[in-house]
Amino acid sequence: MAALTSSRPRARRHPVPGPSPFPAHVLDVPARPEAEMTQHTDELPAAEDGTRKPGDGPEPVSGRFITLYVLSYLGLYVAVMTPLLVSLAMRLETIDPQGKTSSLGLVVGLGTLVGVASGLAFGVLSDNTTSRLGRRKPWILAGMPVLLAGAALTGAGTSVSVLLAGFVVSQLGLSAIMTALLAMLPDQVPEQQRGKVSGLLGFTAQIAGVAGFQLATPLRESGVLLFLVPAVIACVALLPVVLFLPDRPVRRPAGDRQSLAGLLRGLAFNPVRQPDLGWAWAGRFLIQLSLMFLSTYQLYFLTDHLDYELEKVTGLLALTGGVGLLMTSVGAVASGILSDRLRRRKPFIYAAATAFAAGFAVIASATSFAQVFVGSQIILLGAGVFGAVDIALITDVIPNRETEGAKYMSVFGIAAALPQSVAPLIAPFVLAVGGGENYPLLFLSAAGVAVIGGLTVRPIRGVR
């Protein structure tokens, strides 16, 4: 009998009710080795009333959970990406044609700042929520009407000030929803599945961006619908999460609630005492900063440095994004699955940083769009790899993730959002070197930043 058994754990397939849009192998759930299962013997069991105590570890999730969770994330990103990529620019073209560039910077910059700051607060508040609905669902539900109201106000605005007010309101709603939704990953998904789920999440933003362009074209004449339809899509996609996915309430001892001052203190972490978090934060910030140099200045590089007409550039960038969606998807899904199977994160971060450096080097030396296209695809392949494994790596190093998961996810959200403001401040100084429009130096600098960002994971001890 012993010869017929294997010491290697076999994969367990959880039944998926109804059809699933993902391949079957993505939904396979590997059984935890016996040694790994014994690591959690000190965890407290769920209470008899179904509530959950801090410290309870997540059980493997089904394909149904993965499908609904990823689709909700995709729908939410339609509401996030459509205004940033196209809707605000279209609306400001009508409201403020002379000052549209500076007005767009004001609206996006202030909205991003509000989103980052409120995300921190929502993260701590969500971690300390003891509602019967759970910790995350109340904030998803609360964010929906705020998002819809802000989107309607933004679309109805006939001045920059009203547009700004509406966009800030919508960012508050999005921040509450996004913080709670992302915190469900460490709450509900065990370590051996996080790479797969993160891989699927890794390319939702690009799909949403393509969808945003498709939505904006027929809705351009209606300012309200231009902003409201993406918000409605997000809310519809989120309803299955609220209705069908688990979010067991956390039971806290009497008197364990934090004061407001305690909640505010809980927003910070000490990178000296928690070096893994500090290095992971720095790595995400630097990689995102290098990407922002590309996304912010690629259009100007083609028009000012390579002398392409603006009308032609928009079509070329659409082609780049469409093919890039495939590259990012391949990188995200493949790296997520392999990362889980090999139980390694760092090699994939190194590979992503190498792809970034190679792609930026190709673009820096480009004399035609063909070279820019090739370099961009290499970078987008690396972005897919990084996006998938980075989320899994961060989830792995978060301490007390059952009780403080949302807070730390919010803190890491800053590392992704801050480069949107930092890159435009740094780039003009780099471009001015040598007389101005030094785009090759800008992209070579981005390559160096990406390499440093990849190397920041080396000192992290909590993952391999």
* Tokens 């997520």 belong to residue: 336
* Tokens 């979010």 belong to residue: 247
Res. 402 pLDDT band, cuts 50 70 90: low
- Residues 246-260 have pLDDT tens digits of 887 776 655 555 554
What's the mean pLDDT in 130-158? 93
| 183 vs 409, more confident | 183
Least confident of 132-146, 197-211, 344-358: 197-211
pLDDT at 150: 97
Residue 396 has pLDDT above 50, yes or no: yes
Least confident of 356-365, 386-395, 418-427: 418-427
What's the mean pLDDT in 189-218? 77
What's the mean pLDDT in 419-439? 78
CA distance 333 to 408: 24
Res. 301 pLDDT band, cuts 50 70 90: confident
- Residues 96-125 have pLDDT tens digits of 877 665 677 678 778 877 887 888 788 888
The hierarchical CATH code for the domain 266-464 is 1.20.1250.20
CA distances from 63 to 8, 23, 24, 190, 366 (A): 23, 10, 9, 13, 44
Residue 445 has pLDDT above 80, yes or no: yes
- Residues 21-52 have pLDDT tens digits of 323 222 232 333 333 333 333 333 444 444 55
| 392 vs 172, more confident | 172
- Where exactly does CATH 1.20.1250.20 map onto the chain? 60-251, 266-464
Pick the CATH number of 60-251 from 3.40.50.450, 1.20.1250.20, 3.40.50.970, 3.40.50.300: 1.20.1250.20
Res. 165 pLDDT band, cuts 50 70 90: very high
